[in-house]
Amino acid sequence: MPETCKKYFIKTFGCQMNIADSNRFARILDELGFTRSDSPSESDLVVVNTCVVRAKAEDKAISYIGEIERIRKSGSKVSVILAGCLVPLVNENEIKRRFPVILFSINPENVDTFRDLVLEHCKPVPDCEKISDDVIQKDSGKSSFHAFVNIMRGCEQHCTYCIVPKARGNNASRKYEDIRDEIKWRIDNGAKAITLLGQSILDYGKDWQDKKPISSIKGDDLFRDLLDRISIEFPDIWIKFLTSHSKDLLFETIDLIASRDNISKFIHLPIQSGDDGILKKMNRGHNRDDYFKLVEYINNKIPDVRLSSDIIVGFPGENLDAFEQSLDLLRRVRFFKVFTFLYSTRPSTAAARMKDDLPIEEKRARLNRLIDLQNLITLERHKELVGEKLIIMVEGPALKSEEMLMGRSLSEDIVIFNSVDFVSTGDFVRVKIIEERQRTLIGEFVDRA
Ligand code: 5AD
Ligand code: SF4
């Protein structure tokens, strides 16, 4: 590779949406002849893909940009492309004044313009050989055999604590044909599993209302129709999806998930709180009983479901009773996994105007109680899997031991198992679960699947 090639580095904060966008940025930069580097200090361009969902995430992104600014001041020619959810929330001139290292910013609603913006701001790289065959290899959040596919952008749910709708804008669904073509392209380039992404994925297509751009997508629930078609059109591909709003998951969609072998039985169903009063103040659009009914239906239809959830602790007005309701909900539902968050006030959200006078120490103590309880439940759920045989896709060596391999099932069980010579990344294998751990399962290789 000639020396004139510019090097880039991408730092991603936040959710799978950002990971998917970063993958796309990487692909475009690769195509334009940039080369990836392992560190920002050796790069000419650093894309900082920011998250603002909680104040801590925003602070981390800002201090990261500060670090690059210092690298620049110490003599490097590095520039930053500011991306992600911080962009729509700040004035571009102001942030550039604060951090002159920023070359330009790209709004998450306009990621399609990334290529043009790069060409506008950076000199084209002369005589670069195209990096080709290993581009796809590196283009993935999990492994090169797994790909994220965005089916829509934005969120119009307006949960009162959440800044995402402001950062990500209104729903914008992609046409079925475009999604299908991207999946085909991904498969041609090695993908064996895909995760369909949308911030509130069950709203897929609702932005079209009467002007449906594609006659082939029909029915009263366009997400279900999409899932139905994709799972039929790509029968050999594992299909996963994120994230379902708990008020919008229809029984018919659950029936579909139950009826297809290639659709993941991992359902991430954020509830946020177990208390009716708090759910109302959060504007979640349902109460705990509705949630229990939904969970009951899911458990009946999909006995091997892996339910997971998000819970916020310390939302304004959460008293001890309300918090206990969250603990009670965890005990009753017995999720496989729960992502727990301390409430973080976000500017200009409805909840930011609510009285929030609970001391932070109390909030932290509640969070710890919740985490401790869920850890026990997760371990119990994992224990229930001991003795079962699961099919997993091998993702590579286990983090802690090179002699072990790591793989993931269609339903997101992470399994560490004994390395076998003839098995490599991307293979499907059957493993027998022999031991439970907090985050993972320990398995024994049985055969190729
Ligand atoms: N404070 C704490 N957690 C939040 N989340 C969203 N906004 C906030 C906030 N202001 C959590 C929710 C959501 C997840 C992605 O982040 O639980 O489901
Ligand atoms: Fe935020 Fe609610 Fe939209 Fe999720 S559904 S991104 S929590 S507003």
Q: What is the DSSP string of 110-122?
A: GGGGHHHHHHHHS
Fold of 7-130: Rossmann fold (3.40.50)
Q: Is the Cβ atom of 282 under 6 angstroms away from ligand 2?
A: no
Ligand 1 centroid to residue 223 C-alpha, Å: 23
Domain 389-448 has CATH 3.20.20.70: no
pLDDT of residue 215: 47
Q: Ligand 1 in contact with 445 (CB < 6 A)?
A: no
Distance 373 CA to ligand 2 centre (A): 25
d(CA 417, CA 403): 9
- The ligand minimizing its distance to the Cα of 349 is 1
User: Residue 5's pLDDT is what?
Assistant: 61
Q: In sequence order, what E strands does 143-258 have?
A: 146-150, 152-153, 172-173, 193-197, 238-242
The pLDDT assigned to 133 comes to 37
How far is ligand 1, taken at its centre, from the CA of residue 110, in Å?
23
Looking from the CA of 428 toward its CB, the CA atoms found within 13 Å total: 13
How far is 80 from 70, CA to CA, in rounded Å?
12
Q: Does ligand 1 come within 6 angstroms of the Cβ of 34?
A: no
Mutate to test the pocket of ligand 1, among 245, 247, 310, 329 (most ligand atoms within 8 A of CB): 310
Q: What pLDDT does 216 receive? A: 58
Q: Cα 147 to chain center, whole Å?
A: 11
CA 243 to ligand 1 centroid distance, Å: 13
Task: Count other Cβ atoms within 10 Å, centred on residue 14.
Answer: 23
Which pLDDT value is given to residue 132?
39
Where does the chain hold its CATH 3.80.30.20 domain(s)? 146-383
Token couple for 154: 């934005």
Q: What is the pLDDT of residue 126?
A: 57
Tell me what pLDDT residue 203 has.
95
pTM, two decimals, is: 0.92
Ligand 2 pocket check for 302: Cβ under 6 Å: no
| 200 C-beta closer than 6 A to ligand 2 | yes
- CA dist., res. 53 & res. 341, Å (int): 11
Q: Is 155 near ligand 2, meaning CB less than 6 Å away? A: yes
Residue 54 CA, ligand 1 centroid: distance in Å = 7
pLDDT tens profile 229-239? 999 999 999 99
Strands (DSSP E) contained in 191-326 are: 193-197, 238-242, 266-268, 306-313
What the block records as the tokens of 55 is: 């104040």
Q: Where does the chain hold its CATH 2.40.50.140 domain(s)? A: 389-448
Q: Does the domain made of 146-383 have the CATH classification 3.80.30.20? A: yes
Stretches where the chain sits below pLDDT 70 are 1-5, 124-143, 210-220
Nearest ligand to the CA atom of 155: 2
Confirm if 278 and 232 have CB atoms less than 8 A apart: no
Range(s) of the chain covered by CATH 3.40.50.12160: 7-130
Peptide bond preceding 243 in cis form (omega within 30 of 0): yes
What would you report as the CA-atom Rg of the chain, rounded to the nearest whole angstrom? Answer: 23
